[in-house]
Structure 1
Amino acid sequence: MAIKVVHWGTGPTGRLGLRGIINHPDLELVGLYVHSPDKVGQDAAALCGVAANTGVAATDDAAALAAGGADCLAYFGPAAHDGAGVADVAPFLSAGTNVVTTSFAGLTHPPTAEAALRDPLEAAAVAGGASFFATGIEPGFASDLLPMALLSSCDEIRSIRIQEIADYSGYPAADTLRYAFGFGEAPDFGCFLADPAILTGAWRGVVDAIADLLQTPLDAIETDYERATLDRDLDTAMGRLPAGSTAGVRFEVRGVLDGQPLVILEHVNRMAGDVAPAWPHGTAGDTLTYRVEIVGSPTMRCELVFDPPESEGGLTATAMRAVNAIPAVCAAGPGLLGATDVPLVASRNLASRNLASRAIAASARPGARPSQ
């Protein structure tokens, strides 16, 4: 029996997650929430580029969807901070609907998440007998499962550095880039990520998850945030960035042990290749690279890159880690789940079988001719 899924959000990542649900052989889309009035009433297929209609029309009635008895909610709403998003998700958990999401970066490691996010969702999950799993790509599998796999091959470990090196010039989410990162604003603009508490709230889960794997309590969490500018205007997907505005952002969240950084989560994000040339670069380029560097025995470096278009590849990977985990999350016990609580679940959307299915469907249409 197919797992009944409600999907929430059709932004850049949510659109790809919606497509993944529709294509998944074990999932059945039974509801779709949208925020924009112009999307209400449209078939889900039209909102994610799938050819055949699903028969599921988008709605802005969240209460009706929460009361619908779905097995799982795939939540791709706005990034959650300061309690935002909790009100969206908690009614589903309370009603017994499991949740997977890429929007709650601070809950990738529930034990050290901010109480404003963790406590109400945990209470709702326990009350409803449902499970909640937050993931993504960074935070997410590129910053927890990938380094965890590499650490299984180590003897002595001195440090683990987990990096995102990316050119954000093709990313259209202007509000996130401007108000969270500070891109396009003056170097002293008070963006969210300039606040150490925001950095810690969103990314310390990565650091703590690795420390837990090592069974090593950390002494402290430290952060750094710096910006870079260019002396020319830049035309990007989020609009024109004026000369002298922020065109590069680099930050770290570090777990410290015995006075030395043990686990370092680092972002290096640019709006052009020549921004801050002294900052780290990917071996295969700066468009989108996830890199893990382990210093120890053995010392190793692993880079994950995506073929063009890199941005869609990264967003697809972000969405599908959550979507593919739905069967395992639905089978788990109630509460908040971390990366090591959910087994690896591979995609079952095989291209060869899709082609065969389409050919069978086409041949069954009235008047169809046998294939030549």
Structure 2
Amino acid sequence: MRRVVQFSTGNVGQHSLRAVIGRPDLELVGVHAASPDKIGRDAAQLCGLTEPTGVIATDDLDALIALRPDCVVYTALGETRPMEALEQMSRILAAGINIVGTSMVWLVTPRQLDDWLRVPLEKACAQGNSSLYVNGIDPGYSGDTAVHAALSLVTRAESVTIKEVFDYGNYDDAEYTGAAMGFGTAPDDDLPMAFQPGVIVAMFGGLVRNLAAALGVELDDVRQRFEPWYTPERIECAMMTVEPGRLAGVRFAAEGVRGDRPVITVEHTTRLTPAAAPDWEYPPNGLDGVHMVIVEGEPRIELTTHLSHPVLDVTEAGCVSTAARAVNAIDWVCDAPAGLIALEDIPPTAMIRGLMW
């Protein structure tokens, strides 16, 4: 039985919290919450369960560390406050507590990290004899597990394209995702944060370089591209209301090139409702969102992953699966050697152990 602390209860954290509570091989011993309206509440209330757990949310990191859990599930938003998240993670790891998480997407490819992030985390892992693993759906599954499976089916690959094609209209996250992508902004506004020079490569270039290293391919460059779409009509959705002339769709990519030809591409087509960007690619078969891997090679492979749920929409189902990519690794990570762990370090069967009871 692994003793676990859940760190944050937001879009992803509420689902990892629910998963930890439900699994018979995990024991929830603590919950971290930053919002005043969540502190002091039972963990069950924070993830939609009715039976109290007796575990009360706190913002006291020292108190959670004092519980001596085996692992912390770290799902707090870190991309907008990287130094604070780095400090929190380092304190946990240095105290001898392992971390699995979905935050700080750069950590999905730890072998591609810049020193400012890698060095303090490696030092903390060494000090605490602890391990850190971060993954998700995208970045994550689509750029590692899915693409590895697709490539295993060809005798030669000419190019690889990893795509997320999603309607974000029902994703209630205007504060971070909406603002970062610039939804609702005008053409003469400043370029959205996510598409400033170098940001796409910073966020997704590690996936490109990691796959190139796995393939034994030497790239000449990793570059980015971005294309906005402004709506001529008013669009209303859960994310926000977008007035005419404002941004309601984005298409962007990180491309690994040889010569001037992209050979490894990580691309996103993101719209608010099906009305946005009608000339761009839609998910197949009328679906709301998919992750795809396309390998041009011998033979050509196209692998499509669609998430669904009887109650939740596709974006929230994606949050469930993002949480799963962390929770399902807890047992293995707790037994792993100290250090930063990449997906390729974990045996595939270790990620499915304990899922059926």
- Shorter-chain TM-score above 0.5: yes
Matched, 1:124 2:124: yes
Aligned partner of residue 67 in structure 2, secondary structure: coil
Give the match for residue 346 of structure 2. Answer: 342
Q: CA separation in 1, counterparts of 2:193 and 2:353?
A: 35
Q: Percent identity?
A: 35
Q: CA separation in 1, counterparts of 2:272 and 2:287?
A: 10
Q: CA separation in 2, counterparts of 1:93 and 1:274?
A: 46
Give deviations 1:75-124, integer Å, cap 9, x for gaps: 01013255341012110000011111111111111121233222211211
Give deviations 1:116-142, integer Å, cap 9, x for gaps: 222211211121111111101000112
**What aligned pairs does 1:1-372 form with structure 2 within 5 A after superposition?**
2-80=1-79, 82-187=82-187, 188-285=189-286, 287-308=288-309, 309-344=313-348, 345-346=351-352, 348-350=354-356, 353=357
Q: CA separation in 1, counterparts of 2:347 and 2:184?
A: 40
CA contact (8 A) 2:168 2:239 kept: no
Give the match for residue 366 of structure 1. Answer: none
Q: CA separation in 2, counterparts of 1:75 and 1:284?
A: 35
Q: TM-score, normalized by length of structure 1?
A: 0.90
* Paired positions, count: 350
Note the C-alpha offset of 1:159: 0.5
Note the C-alpha offset of 1:286: 5.2
CA contact (8 A) 1:109 1:206 kept: yes
CA contact (8 A) 1:169 1:237 kept: yes
Note the C-alpha offset of 1:277: 2.3
Aligned partner of residue 121 in structure 1, secondary structure: helix
Change (3 A) 1:337 1:15: same
Give the match for residue 358 of structure 1. Answer: none
Q: CA separation in 1, counterparts of 2:227 and 2:287?
A: 18
Aligned Cα RMSD in Å? 1.5
Aligned partner of residue 166 in structure 1, secondary structure: strand
Give deviations 1:312-344, integer Å, cap 9, x for gaps: 211111101110111111111111111101223
Aligned partner of residue 205 in structure 1, secondary structure: helix
CA contact (8 A) 2:136 2:325 kept: yes
Note the C-alpha offset of 1:348: 2.9
Q: TM-score, normalized by length of structure 2?
A: 0.94
Give deviations 1:291-317, integer Å, cap 9, x for gaps: 110001011111111225212211111
Aligned partner of residue 264 in structure 1, secondary structure: strand
CA contact (8 A) 1:67 1:95 kept: no
Aligned partner of residue 16 in structure 2, secondary structure: helix
Q: CA separation in 2, counterparts of 1:44 and 1:291?
A: 35
Q: CA separation in 1, counterparts of 2:225 and 2:158?
A: 21
Aligned partner of residue 83 in structure 1, secondary structure: helix
Q: CA separation in 1, counterparts of 2:36 and 2:346?
A: 36
CA contact (8 A) 2:74 2:103 kept: yes
**Structure 1 stretches of at least 4 aligned residues deviating more than 6 Å after TM superposition:** none
Aligned partner of residue 262 in structure 1, secondary structure: strand
Aligned partner of residue 136 in structure 1, secondary structure: coil
Give the match for residue 356 of structure 1. Answer: none
Aligned partner of residue 180 in structure 1, secondary structure: helix
CA contact (8 A) 1:40 1:59 kept: yes
Note the C-alpha offset of 1:349: 4.2
Q: CA separation in 2, counterparts of 1:184 and 1:190?
A: 12
Q: CA separation in 2, counterparts of 1:112 and 1:41?
A: 39
Change (3 A) 1:97 1:113: same
CA contact (8 A) 1:133 1:337 kept: yes
CA contact (8 A) 1:104 1:135 kept: no
Which region of structure 1 is more displaced relative to structure 2, 190-199 or 35-44? 190-199
Q: CA separation in 1, counterparts of 2:84 and 2:294?
A: 34
Give the match for residue 365 of structure 1. Answer: none
CA contact (8 A) 1:101 1:322 kept: yes
Note the C-alpha offset of 1:206: 1.5
Give deviations 1:143-195, integer Å, cap 9, x for gaps: 21101011111111110000000000100111123321111112343321112
CA contact (8 A) 1:155 1:296 kept: yes
**Larger CA Rg, structure 1 vs 2:** 1
Q: Look up the equivalent residue of 1:154 and give its one-letter code.
A: V
CA contact (8 A) 1:25 1:349 kept: no
Note the C-alpha offset of 1:272: 2.1
Q: Look up the equivalent residue of 2:199 and give its one-letter code.
A: I
Q: Look up the equivalent residue of 1:66 and give its one-letter code.
A: I
**Unmatched 5+ stretches in structure 2:** none
Give the match for residue 360 of structure 1. Answer: none
